[in-house]
Structure 1
Amino acid sequence: MKRFISILCLIAIVIGSLSLVGCKDNSAEKNSISVAIMAPDVASSEGTAENNRWTKYIAEQTGLDITWVAIPQNEMKTKLNTLLAAGEAPDMFVEYSNAYFQGLVFDGMLMELDDLIEKHSTEYKKYIEENSDLKTWTMLDGKTYAFTNRRPADKILSFGMWIRQDWLDKLGLKAPTTIDEFVEVAKAFKTLGDDIVPLAYPYQFINTIYNAHAQWYEKDDGSGLEYGVVTKRYADSIAMHKKMYEEGIVDKEYFVDKGGSKQYELWNSGKAGIMFSNWDSSVNQTLLKNDPNANPVQLEAFSTKYGTNGMFVEAPPQLYVMMNKDCKNPEAGMKLVDWLIGGGYKNLMFGEEGVHYKMDGEIPVTICDRDTFTREVEYAKRYAVLGSFVLDPEWIPKMANQDELSQKLAAEKVDAMNTINKHHYRRDVPYNPPESRVSSIVSDFSSSINAITVKYITGGNQYDENWCETELRREWELAGGKEAEELATKWYKDNIDMIKAFQAENK
């Protein structure tokens, strides 16, 4: 009998031990998650994209076992599509494109997040309620399929116009306030040298001035939507572009300048007087190193017959942070999201407090040199896929390195932000109509746009002023443009309350 009881006790102990082991393994598994991010540029001294001081820091702070999957930004969509098709995609992944996000929803690749947020979130639930306008961008058919946060003030700006104030001063000119004045200023800049190209990177520049982007706009009479490239505004913008090309205001070879490397070279070498580019003052860094006496300033948007249009700005969401429908541990993903939005992002943006930055009131002030920050901190921002940082533009000089060049660039950045924000950028709908047929038609048509516009701009007098508009409209209709307009307008009318609320919030 004693032997039997001993055996029972032994069995109980073994079973109990196995149960404990099972619980431990299960707990560890529930804390595991894989996350795809846009590949950071990690110095060899820091480790790798998958294992460095910041991946270790995140693991220590969250208690999560995170497998980081680094994918080059320009390959993200293609790589994710391949992994999703093979059933091998990470649990969470990020993208900038709302259209891509919508496509994944339609394809059934994403987890619906409302219950997860309601039951397991504290920080993100609070954040998205306080920033309820962002919900529009993360929902389809009334359901949430992505996490996001608001872009900081300096990141929502996309393009700007830089002009050489020292050139204006040399010629006794004022900054242009109309398109006609702009042409005259650009022609005057040509007199400063045979190798001068007044305007670098002109293509998007002219479409921005005329507010004629490849996006959907509300018709003037409110009856529906029209595609920007087949509007009269676009035709007029390309006609002006042709005039500037023929006047020698732009680089004749920019059509084949892939990536714009020659355009930046013209600006950096002091051979261009106006640059349409990334708005950020960092675009002037090389120019100012080459010529410390150069004085690039932000050129305020000027008017055309269509009024004064703001510079293109990004949509409010910074990133779409999505969860794979097959994610086994969504609570772990929610824990990471809550940690980031609740303040975990801070050191990923600014570094280690006391080493890389210090707080001056609310302002995180950089205290290390530029090289150290670049090497040890800059790459960490890729892991901060969410955050709640709100930037006051006046903080920028304090946040920058204190050397003379950094401070000059910071001051330019503040001035540029203030100048760009003087004029509202028109966005009539929050995102393109989420209809796959509309997207397909637009994609088919897009391949024709550049060929037609380049042919018209460079074709001299063999094409009359209506040729480009007529050809674009013909190609649009061949691609199914009429059907796209009908579907887009139906979506517009079906969602008119949401669209009008969006317009009211974004005046």
Structure 2
Amino acid sequence: MKRWRNPLFKAATIGMAGALVLSACSKTDPKAAGGKNGEASKPEITVMAFDFGNVPKEEGTMEKNRWVDWINQNAPVRVKFISIPRWESVPKLNALFASGDAPDLIMEYDKAFLNSLYVQKQILPLDDLIQKDSPYYAGILQKYPTLAKMGKQDDGKIYKIGKVNGADVNTGIYIRADWLKKLHLNMPTTPDELLNVAKAFAEQDPDGNGKKDTYGLALSTFDGIINYMFQNVNWIMDNGQLTHDWQRAKAAADFKKKLFDAGVTDKDYLTDKNGKKAEQDWMRGKLGIWNFTFQLSSYQDFKKNNPDGEVAILPMPATQYGHFSPEINSPFAVNAVINRNAKNPDAVMKYLDWILNPANSTTLKYGLEGVHWKKGTNGCPQPIDKAKYTKEVAYTQGYLVLHSKFAEGKCGTVEGSLDTSDPVQKDFLELYKTAKKEYVTPERPMPYAIDNSSLPALPPDLLTIQTNATKAVQDIWNKSIVSGSAYTTEQALKDAQDLWKKSGGDKVDEWMQKYYASNKQNIVHTKEWYDSIVTP
């Protein structure tokens, strides 16, 4: 595997050192900051801030708190934050744009929404602004041209600002290793083996309580893993062309139907819309295989409820269509755009340059040295008092959409965040290392060809067709999975193709094929991720 040398790391390390120096010198509680350094003379901009609902009342709100004061004391501009509920961000932003009150700086994870803003001509091209007002970001783009390419739209101009994170684990597939041992089973490597293991977990009383109250896997969350196993991702690359594939969708539905008919999944999985029941069953020790965002807190919760439970990482089984991995984080992400109605776009870009610099964003992430954190044994920030950190700092994640973990060096990695003197965190680190080895590799790549951030912006009429028809097609597949012999996947395939065509889906396919053929040199392919894996 080709690994780039890390030219950003030296600059980022200097930036991190600057952040530590800044924190060390700023012992004063930022709650008391404000009114200094000529704040009143600074240009004012509006910036959205994600509200996760975790700001303690005594701290204020996402629009006014100690860190807003700190930003306005130290940033080159004065910022008025507009709070946006994290899980309602797109409808809220749509409403703000409709009323003419959208913030100058928009930060959003939904790539389709950002593309729609470009199609509607709601955002500014940024090439000139970057060169004039953002020396830090201009330097990053020079070192990582893939990030620049990802920020461009079909007119060849940069509209989206992003960050370098390095390819990393996102989703983990967890399996009860103690149940495998008890039932004398091997780690499944094929769909048939996965089915057999799931059946054993459902039928052979792996928890030893004498009751048939466990099951193998939860289709409410594992549905997506199966799609990836069979490369059911709608459009695939076929002889250099982007092609809407249907046979992979049928193969995935066939396997889901086998699992459902075998009784290895929750029969009511379609009502578990957000996967909460699957999570609860995993935590209660009633589920054998579970997939979820890779995070320490979930593993801690599991061990608290199942102190003797053993967990292993399950590589995704291979199928006739290839051997792939579950979702990993792209080494690059583009999440910010500037409103075309911003009164002072130069000031917005200067703020972007300031917040992108780790000398500033790391202070927002960790708080002040000696107040909120100290250097751990690995040299990375560790909370002095977790309760104090949670109360006074944790909510700043809403300002840090553009913070680059990679810019922190080792301290931005999972390993750098863990206290390995704690047995649970030490075990989690081993799970993480295994997941990274198994998932972040070109030998088992992403099943989809194009980085999500690089997908084109469909025209509004085609976007409506795609959105509505895709949901209707998924309903057809779901019906075939739960209907036994009354409704086969063969019939579902015919019905799904007919519905797609009658809905105008062929127009979407044709547009996508033509767009790809004309713009593929400017599109970021997922295979490029493995040529640009950056390691601190």
Q: TM-score range by the shorter chain?
A: 0.7 to 0.9
- How far the C-alpha of 1:86 sits from its partner, in A, is 1.6
- Distance of 2:372 and 2:176 partners within structure 1: 34
Is 2:460 the counterpart of 1:440?
Answer: no
- Kindly indicate whether the alpha-carbon contact (under 8 Å) linking 1:49 and 1:68 is maintained by their aligned counterparts in 2: yes
Give the match for residue 467 of structure 1.
491
Is 2:47 the counterpart of 1:35?
Answer: yes
Match of 1:285 among 286, 300, 312: 300
- Give the TM-score of the pair, scaled to structure 2: 0.83
* Higher RCO (Cα < 8 Å, 6 or more apart): 2
Q: 1:310-351 CA distances to partner (integer Å, 9 max, x unpaired)?
A: 112344444521111111122221221111222211112222
- Kindly indicate whether the alpha-carbon contact (under 8 Å) linking 1:216 and 1:429 is maintained by their aligned counterparts in 2: no
- Distance of 2:516 and 2:195 partners within structure 1: 38
- Distance of 2:385 and 2:517 partners within structure 1: 54
- How far the C-alpha of 1:470 sits from its partner, in A, is 1.3
Are residues 232 and 133 of structure 1, via their aligned partners in 2, closer, same or farther at CA, if it must alter by over 3 Å? same
Question: Which stretch of the first structure deviates more once superposed, 400-409 or 382-391?
Answer: 400-409
Give the letter aligned to residue 445 of structure 1: A
Give the match for residue 418 of structure 1.
437
Are residues 138 and 162 of structure 1, via their aligned partners in 2, closer, same or farther at CA, if it must alter by over 3 Å? same
Q: 1:143-181 CA distances to partner (integer Å, 9 max, x unpaired)?
A: 111211123555xx4322100111111112221111111
CA RMSD in angstroms, aligned pairs only: 2.5
Q: 1:370-427 CA distances to partner (integer Å, 9 max, x unpaired)?
A: 3333222221122123234315499534423554444443443333333322421133
Give the letter aligned to residue 176 of structure 1: P
- Distance of 2:347 and 2:456 partners within structure 1: 33
- Kindly indicate whether the alpha-carbon contact (under 8 Å) linking 1:217 and 1:429 is maintained by their aligned counterparts in 2: no
- Distance of 1:118 and 1:128 partners within structure 2: 10
- Distance of 1:75 and 1:500 partners within structure 2: 28
Are residues 404 and 46 of structure 1, via their aligned partners in 2, closer, same or farther at CA, if it must alter by over 3 Å? farther
Counting only pairs closer than 5 Å after superposition, residues 373-388 of structure 1 correspond to structure 2 as: 373-388=389-404
- Distance of 1:332 and 1:47 partners within structure 2: 26
- How far the C-alpha of 1:433 sits from its partner, in A, is 3.2
Give the letter aligned to residue 448 of structure 2: R
Unaligned runs of 5+ in 1: 1-25
- How far the C-alpha of 1:76 sits from its partner, in A, is 1.2
- Distance of 2:427 and 2:65 partners within structure 1: 33
Match of 2:414 among 396, 401, 412: 396
- How far the C-alpha of 1:272 sits from its partner, in A, is 0.4
- Distance of 2:118 and 2:344 partners within structure 1: 20
Are residues 297 and 446 of structure 1, via their aligned partners in 2, closer, same or farther at CA, if it must alter by over 3 Å? same
Classify the secondary structure of the residue corresponding to 2:173: strand
- Distance of 1:353 and 1:319 partners within structure 2: 30
Give the match for residue 60 of structure 2.
47
Identity of aligned residues (%): 29
Counting only pairs closer than 5 Å after superposition, residues 472-483 of structure 1 correspond to structure 2 as: 472-483=496-507
Higher Rg: 1
- Distance of 1:56 and 1:91 partners within structure 2: 19
Are residues 121 and 416 of structure 1, via their aligned partners in 2, closer, same or farther at CA, if it must alter by over 3 Å? same
Are residues 463 and 172 of structure 1, via their aligned partners in 2, closer, same or farther at CA, if it must alter by over 3 Å? same
Is 2:187 the counterpart of 1:161?
Answer: no
Are residues 407 and 102 of structure 1, via their aligned partners in 2, closer, same or farther at CA, if it must alter by over 3 Å? same
Give the match for residue 191 of structure 2.
179
Counting only pairs closer than 5 Å after superposition, residues 106-505 of structure 1 correspond to structure 2 as: 106-140=119-153, 141-151=155-165, 153-154=167-168, 157-190=169-202, 191-192=204-205, 193-200=211-218, 201-213=221-233, 215-218=234-237, 220-222=238-240, 224-227=241-244, 230-343=245-358, 344-359=360-375, 363-390=379-406, 392=410, 396-401=414-419, 403-422=422-441, 423-430=444-451, 431-436=454-459, 437-499=461-523, 503-504=527-528
- Distance of 1:35 and 1:371 partners within structure 2: 28
Give the letter aligned to residue 456 of structure 2: P
- Distance of 1:264 and 1:426 partners within structure 2: 25
- Kindly indicate whether the alpha-carbon contact (under 8 Å) linking 2:46 and 2:103 is maintained by their aligned counterparts in 1: yes
- How far the C-alpha of 1:308 sits from its partner, in A, is 1.0
Give the match for residue 6 of structure 1.
none
- Kindly indicate whether the alpha-carbon contact (under 8 Å) linking 1:429 and 1:502 is maintained by their aligned counterparts in 2: yes
Are residues 292 and 74 of structure 1, via their aligned partners in 2, closer, same or farther at CA, if it must alter by over 3 Å? same
Q: 1:177-200 CA distances to partner (integer Å, 9 max, x unpaired)?
A: 111111111111121140011102
- Distance of 2:524 and 2:45 partners within structure 1: 39
- How far the C-alpha of 1:205 sits from its partner, in A, is 2.1
- Distance of 1:247 and 1:144 partners within structure 2: 51
- Kindly indicate whether the alpha-carbon contact (under 8 Å) linking 1:394 and 1:414 is maintained by their aligned counterparts in 2: no
Total equivalences in the alignment: 475
- Kindly indicate whether the alpha-carbon contact (under 8 Å) linking 2:282 and 2:290 is maintained by their aligned counterparts in 1: yes
- How far the C-alpha of 1:283 sits from its partner, in A, is 2.5
Is 2:107 the counterpart of 1:94?
Answer: yes
- Kindly indicate whether the alpha-carbon contact (under 8 Å) linking 1:202 and 1:250 is maintained by their aligned counterparts in 2: no
Classify the secondary structure of the residue corresponding to 2:361: helix
- Kindly indicate whether the alpha-carbon contact (under 8 Å) linking 2:39 and 2:73 is maintained by their aligned counterparts in 1: no
- Kindly indicate whether the alpha-carbon contact (under 8 Å) linking 1:209 and 1:304 is maintained by their aligned counterparts in 2: yes
Question: Which stretch of the first structure deviates more once superposed, 461-470 or 319-328?
Answer: 461-470
Are residues 426 and 363 of structure 1, via their aligned partners in 2, closer, same or farther at CA, if it must alter by over 3 Å? farther
Unaligned runs of 5+ in 2: 1-37, 206-210, 532-536
Counting only pairs closer than 5 Å after superposition, residues 19-30 of structure 1 correspond to structure 2 as: 28=40
- Kindly indicate whether the alpha-carbon contact (under 8 Å) linking 1:397 and 1:411 is maintained by their aligned counterparts in 2: no
- Kindly indicate whether the alpha-carbon contact (under 8 Å) linking 1:363 and 1:399 is maintained by their aligned counterparts in 2: no
- Distance of 1:504 and 1:445 partners within structure 2: 31
Give the letter aligned to residue 368 of structure 1: I
- How far the C-alpha of 1:503 sits from its partner, in A, is 4.5
Are residues 27 and 198 of structure 1, via their aligned partners in 2, closer, same or farther at CA, if it must alter by over 3 Å? closer
Are residues 370 and 417 of structure 1, via their aligned partners in 2, closer, same or farther at CA, if it must alter by over 3 Å? farther
Classify the secondary structure of the residue corresponding to 1:148: strand
Are residues 96 and 398 of structure 1, via their aligned partners in 2, closer, same or farther at CA, if it must alter by over 3 Å? closer
Question: Which stretch of the first structure deviates more once superposed, 118-127 or 400-409?
Answer: 400-409
Give the letter aligned to residue 169 of structure 1: K
- Distance of 2:482 and 2:430 partners within structure 1: 39
Counting only pairs closer than 5 Å after superposition, residues 60-99 of structure 1 correspond to structure 2 as: 60-99=73-112
